[in-house]
Amino acid sequence: MSLPFWCLFIAALLIYLAKAPVAKAMSEEGGGYDNRNPRAQQGRLTGFGARALAAHQNSIEIFPLFAAGVLMAHVTQTQGWFVDLLAILFVVSRVLYLFLYWNDRATLRSLVWVVGLLCCLVLMLSPAI
């Protein structure tokens, strides 16, 4: 399996890693984790729990763009160190993004988000480069 595909797998796992702090915040809320209506409970989260939920949701939102970039590079047989670097940089940016979101570092988090977005877009353009 190629390095970009491994990065795609890791990015998928990060979606669920990002859910763990949400579940923890929900279980620490007044009545514990509400498995009957978790989305309503998530809507009541504040502070860290709300940030953790937003980080999780953003992980879901960015994943299809990264997957498209990796797949576009793959189907056009665009490979090499540059594609590998973009895929690794995306995963690193997502790990940093989660850490920064959880720790309420909004400006730096947004800059790291842009790095991840650019990795996705350049991956999509890599066959033309």
Report the CATH number at residue 94: 1.20.120.550
In the numeric block, which tokens belong to residue 95?
Answer: 């790990």
Residue 92 structural domain: 3-128
Counted domains in the chain = 1
What was the pLDDT predicted at 120? Answer: 98
| Run means of pLDDT, 10 residues per run, the chain, 129 residues | 96 96 88 85 90 96 98 93 97 98 97 98 94
Whole-number Cα distances in Å, 116 to 13, 33, 38, 105: 16, 32, 29, 16
